[in-house]
Structure 1
Amino acid sequence: MPSFKKYRVGSKFKLAAIDSADTTFIEGHEDTQRERLDALAVELDELQNLLHAEGRRKLLLVLQGMDTSGKDGTIRWVFSRTSPLGVRVTAFKVPSEEERAHDYLWRCHAAVPRNGEIMVWNRSHYEDVLVPVVEGWIDKAEIRRRYAQINDFERLLAETGTVIVKCMLHISKEVQRERLQARIDEPDKRWKFKLGDLDARKKWDDYQRAYEQALAATSSAHAPWHVVPADSKRHRNLMIAQLLVKTLREMKLKAPAVDSALDGLVVQ
């Protein structure tokens, strides 16, 4: 398995230093890649079963990225063999009136995983240090406060048994253009397209800077960020699947001890 070290965000992180077209985690011919992804999906299901059986810890996968970076596709493929009973997905949209009446972390804390569960966040609390920053709705002092609050929030989760995996799906501006155009040109994809996507695209460089600053400020030992080159959908899926399997393996999950009273028991 290739090393994830290169893609883990550190203090001297520069987003531009990571090639969105990188395909390090793709090995072999196309059939082999499909087989590898399926094998990882099966192992992920087995590990999730152990996580559920152990019942003490949980895993949170945070997916962030520009429009068309593949958050939905990642969930569809990486968890293709996982029991839906053990995985929940929350997609964070524009805050509702009820959500805006609370602090910005309120809706996220309400969606953290339960013991034995994998929770996937399609977008997350990081929207609150991206959109408001690009749009100029909050000043530098508030940005720093939010970074600190997010770090504290994630530390709380980690210290109460949640293993956090954060992935920024990194695509190029040209690949985004191609994917947006495909949504317009292909009738069965047109429902995915929103004119607002073009407004955000006009501020591409601003969003890249906001991502770089947010990732550098909130990548910690207890909740590290990984930048996932995502121009290739298959590379994106393989890398995240391998990262999740590696993370769950390192948790050394164990099913509870079997009651000795069951030895030799025959069900009539």
Structure 2
Amino acid sequence: MASKKNGSKNDVDARLAGLCPNQTKSFDLKDCKPNAKPFSIGDKNTDRAAVQTLATEIDVLQNLFYADRRYKLLIVLQGLDTSGKDGTVRAVFKETSPLGVRCVGWKAPSENERAYDYLWRIHQHVPASGEVMVFNRSHYEDVLVPVVNGWIDASQTAQRYAQINDFERMLTETGTVILKFMLHISPEEQRERLQERLDDPAKRWKFDLGDLEVRKQWKDYDRAYDALLKATSTEHAPWIVVPADSKTHRNLMIATLVRDRLASLNLRYPEDDPRLKGLIVE
């Protein structure tokens, strides 16, 4: 259950429903406003304090999740450059032990990885029982970059959508809970964040000239995202579009949904070993 401070489950569901019709096959990404703040509970400081509280709650739940070992949790973070994938990981999981949470940042496949099917490298990093795995980018790059650059045609793209849906269904049928977040920012906000990286010597290392070339393909990526969201938002692994122009709201929304999903699993500690009853350590 969601805490009283952050709203009931029905309240959270209503906020999601009002955000954009992202749980249907007919939604249009342009109807999802990147500057919306449906999960905000006050000013920025209030929201930041709520993120801290949620991060602590997630830590407690993750410990129980690890002890329970009935489930695995895969969190997918997708979004264009500067949408805040790194920042989300830092804010949402800053209180959580690295023993129970892993994160993989996916880059372009290596020569060795390209020798296999495109999901081969992904499957090696899905979570184990009791583990939380965060994908910073993911297998969805394989229906974004190749599509935008014309490396695969419409038939191959549709085939990959079907393969990804089957892959995720297999994961859910074997105990994996999947949360897929698309971090949705505006081109104006991205421009400001890219310029900030250029202007700040401590952040300049993050800037890549290739980011400017990708930015020129904004409309193409927008269409590619719109198509993949429609094709791969399934009952077993639905997409959630997160307005990400506000970093604080982005963190608050994702932390709320992660906390709520963990809390919904009715996690429990394993039964005590009967040999431990009455045992005294000398």
The TM-score normalised by the length of structure 2 is 0.92
The alignment status of 1:191 with 2:191, answered yes or no, reads: no
Specify the alignment match of 1:243 in structure 2.
Answer: 257
Question: 1:260, CA displacement in angstroms?
Answer: 4.0
**Aligned partner (choices 190, 194, 219) of residue 176 of structure 1:** 190
Question: 1:265, CA displacement in angstroms?
Answer: 2.9
Specify the alignment match of 1:13 in structure 2.
Answer: 27
| SS of residue paired to 1:169 | strand
Aligned equivalents of 1:13, 1:253: Cα separation in 2: 34
Q: Any gaps of 5 or more consecutive residues in structure 1? A: none
Question: 1:34, CA displacement in angstroms?
Answer: 2.3
Partner deviation per Cα, 1:38-88 (whole Å, 9 max, x = no partner):
111011111111111011210000000000000000000000100110000
CA RMSD of aligned residues (A): 1.1
| SS of residue paired to 1:188 | coil
The alignment status of 1:40 with 2:54, answered yes or no, reads: yes
Aligned equivalents of 1:216, 1:160: Cα separation in 2: 24
Q: Cα distance 1:114–1:29, how it changes in 2: closer, same or farther (>3 A)?
A: same
Specify the alignment match of 1:225 in structure 2.
Answer: 239
Aligned equivalents of 2:93, 2:195: Cα separation in 1: 27
The alignment status of 1:103 with 2:114, answered yes or no, reads: no
**Aligned partner (choices 118, 142, 151) of residue 132 of structure 2:** 118
Aligned equivalents of 2:70, 2:39: Cα separation in 1: 31
Aligned equivalents of 1:127, 1:185: Cα separation in 2: 29
Percent identity of paired positions between Structure 1 and Structure 2: 59
The TM-score normalised by the length of structure 1 is 0.97
> Across the two proteins, how many residue pairs are aligned to each other?
268
Aligned equivalents of 2:235, 2:109: Cα separation in 1: 29
Aligned equivalents of 1:203, 1:24: Cα separation in 2: 29
| SS of residue paired to 1:187 | coil
Aligned equivalents of 1:23, 1:54: Cα separation in 2: 34
Residue type at the aligned position of 2:17: K
Aligned equivalents of 2:205, 2:130: Cα separation in 1: 35
Q: Any gaps of 5 or more consecutive residues in structure 2? A: 1-6
The alignment status of 1:252 with 2:266, answered yes or no, reads: yes
Aligned equivalents of 1:255, 1:85: Cα separation in 2: 17
Q: CA contact under 8 A between 2:105 and 2:136: conserved in structure 1? A: yes
Output aligned runs, 1:49-88, within 5 Å.
49-88=63-102
Residue type at the aligned position of 2:140: Y
Specify the alignment match of 1:155 in structure 2.
Answer: 169
Aligned equivalents of 1:28, 1:263: Cα separation in 2: 49
Q: CA contact under 8 A between 2:44 and 2:248: conserved in structure 1? A: no
Aligned equivalents of 1:69, 1:99: Cα separation in 2: 26
| SS of residue paired to 2:182 | strand
Aligned equivalents of 2:23, 2:191: Cα separation in 1: 26
Q: CA contact under 8 A between 1:9 and 1:227: conserved in structure 2? A: no
**Aligned partner (choices 109, 131, 156) of residue 142 of structure 1:** 156
| SS of residue paired to 1:68 | coil
Q: CA contact under 8 A between 1:9 and 1:215: conserved in structure 2? A: no
Aligned equivalents of 1:5, 1:110: Cα separation in 2: 34
